[in-house]
Amino acid sequence: MAEKRFLEQIGEPRCRTTAMGILPHQDITTALELALSLDIPFWPQLPKLRFEEDMYAQACDGLPGFIVDREGKTIRFAPEQFMTELDQYAARSGELSHVGLSAESSVVFDKFLGQDIGSAWAIRGQIIGPVSFGLKVTDPDKKPVIYDENVRGILFDAFQRKANWQFEQLSKRNPRSFVWFDEPGLEMLWMSMTGYTEQQAKADLGAALGQVEGPRGIHLCGKPDWDFLLDAPIDVLSMDAYSHGAVLAVYERTGEFIREGGVIGWGIVPTHQDILMDETVESLKEKLLGQWARLAKQGLDEEQIARQAILAPATCYLTNPDKTESVERAFSILTSLSSVVREEFGFAD
């Protein structure tokens, strides 16, 4: 069991709010205002603004052999270029800035750092996780690059350093900072078609997370093997509680994770336009507290679950017909829900 850091270094979140990094906005100012409206602001990723803002494209900064095709909106891996650039990568391995987020890859990050974020309860960064990146990006033979042992080693090394670079930049603005890996691709580990095993992923991801500074987290919207995640060396697990919270609540390991000091991000507010229309603050409160009641049957105090809970939207959503309206409404409902739940448990601070 890895030592949990969140409660000691940041504190009990007590149903405070944050959200996934991706927003559907094309207006930077509006996106920043939305992110800053939450208790734990984050820097927004805006793939609809331009391809460079895509979380996979952003992660290519400093990686040997990876080419971002802005016109074709694709990421390519070039093996020969990888070998050519490998020595340079190794020579600069001590420089976090070499793999840090460039100004060309995010027009938002520096603007976020320039906001009044020092007074926020905490702030958060994010990066696509190495498993998801390695399974999605392919070599010229259309084989995921994570299957290549040499490339895989570079990915896990680089991504933990990318997380540490972000943590370093954020911590200068607010000492209560943390960074999580977005790992939507973890679902693929349990599909029969993948050639990258769960055992290998557990070892690789665990080693990388073990080198991440500050509280460590994983966020995903899908449905993986929960024991795999709850046993990982993480302090924060952020997930789609609207769809999968009922399942997570009955896992015995979930209760152990909380007793160990782990924090769970309950993504309880849907962002899909049609689903959100049928929900209210009261209906979502009932759904969330129902999940916590089931989890409490493992001998937990529901107040402890709430003290170690972050509330969030369930998923990011880029294809709503109303563009940004539903996502913005989801953030508004989230803020109201947090206030109601915090009042329920008597959280005044």
Cα–Cα distances in angstroms (integers) from residue 177 to residues 163, 166, 167, 216, 267, in the given order: 12, 9, 7, 10, 20
Q: How confident is the model at residue 336 (pLDDT cuts 50, 70, 90)?
A: very high
Asked if 196 and 137 touch (Cβ cutoff 8 Å), the reply is no
- Tokens in use for 322? 């109303």
State the helix-helix crossing angle for 281-296 and 252-259, rounded to 10 degrees: 90
SS3 67: strand
Q: How confident is the model at residue 191 (pLDDT cuts 50, 70, 90)?
A: confident
| Average pLDDT score over residue span 41-63 | 96
**Half-sphere CA count of 213, side-chain side, radius 13 A:** 15
Judge whether 308 lies within some domain: yes
Q: What span, in angstroms and rounded, lies between the C-alpha atoms of 317 and 315?
A: 6
Element (H, E) at 123: strand 123-128
Domain count, the chain: 1
**Residue 143 scores a pLDDT above 60:** yes
Q: Which residue has the tokens 């900064």?
A: 61
Q: Higher confidence at residue 94 or residue 25?
A: 25
Residue 312 φ then ψ, to 5°: -155, 165
| Average pLDDT score over residue span 216-228 | 92
Which letter does DSSP use for residue 82 in this model?
A: H
**Residue 248 scores a pLDDT above 70:** yes
pLDDT value for 196: 87
Q: What span, in angstroms and rounded, lies between the C-alpha atoms of 14 and 338?
A: 9
Judge whether 241 lies within some domain: yes
| Average pLDDT score over residue span 23-48 | 97
Residue 241 sits at the vertex; the CA angle it makes with 288 and 213, to the nearest 5 degrees, is 115
pLDDT value for 152: 96
Q: How confident is the model at residue 2 (pLDDT cuts 50, 70, 90)?
A: low
Q: What span, in angstroms and rounded, lies between the C-alpha atoms of 282 and 143?
A: 47
Which letter does DSSP use for residue 43 in this model?
A: P
Judge whether 87 lies within some domain: no
Q: What is the mean pLDDT of the chain?
A: 95
Q: What is the pLDDT of residues 53-80, one digit of tens each?
A: 999 999 999 999 999 999 999 999 999 9
Judge whether 313 lies within some domain: yes
**Residue 347 scores a pLDDT above 90:** yes
Q: In this structure, how many other beta carbons lie within 10 angstroms of the beta carbon of residue 170?
A: 25
Judge whether 316 lies within some domain: yes
Judge whether 162 lies within some domain: no
Asked if 157 and 213 touch (Cβ cutoff 8 Å), the reply is no
Q: What residue numbers bound the domain in which 276 lies?
A: 1-20+221-349
Residue 156 sits at the vertex; the CA angle it makes with 151 and 159, to the nearest 5 degrees, is 115
Q: How confident is the model at residue 94 (pLDDT cuts 50, 70, 90)?
A: confident
Q: What is the pLDDT of residues 295-323, one digit of tens each?
A: 999 999 999 999 999 999 999 989 899 99
Q: Which residue has the tokens 């992110």?
A: 35
Judge whether 130 lies within some domain: no
Identity at 275, one-letter amino acid code: I
List residues bridging with 125 in a β-sheet.
Answer: 179
Q: What span, in angstroms and rounded, lies between the C-alpha atoms of 333 and 34?
A: 13
List residues bridging with 87 in a β-sheet.
Answer: none
Q: What span, in angstroms and rounded, lies between the C-alpha atoms of 220 and 186?
A: 8
pLDDT > 90: percent of the chain: 90
Q: What span, in angstroms and rounded, lies between the C-alpha atoms of 225 and 210?
A: 20
Judge whether 78 lies within some domain: no
State the helix-helix crossing angle for 198-209 and 149-173, rounded to 10 degrees: 40
pLDDT value for 93: 81
| Average pLDDT score over residue span 74-96 | 93
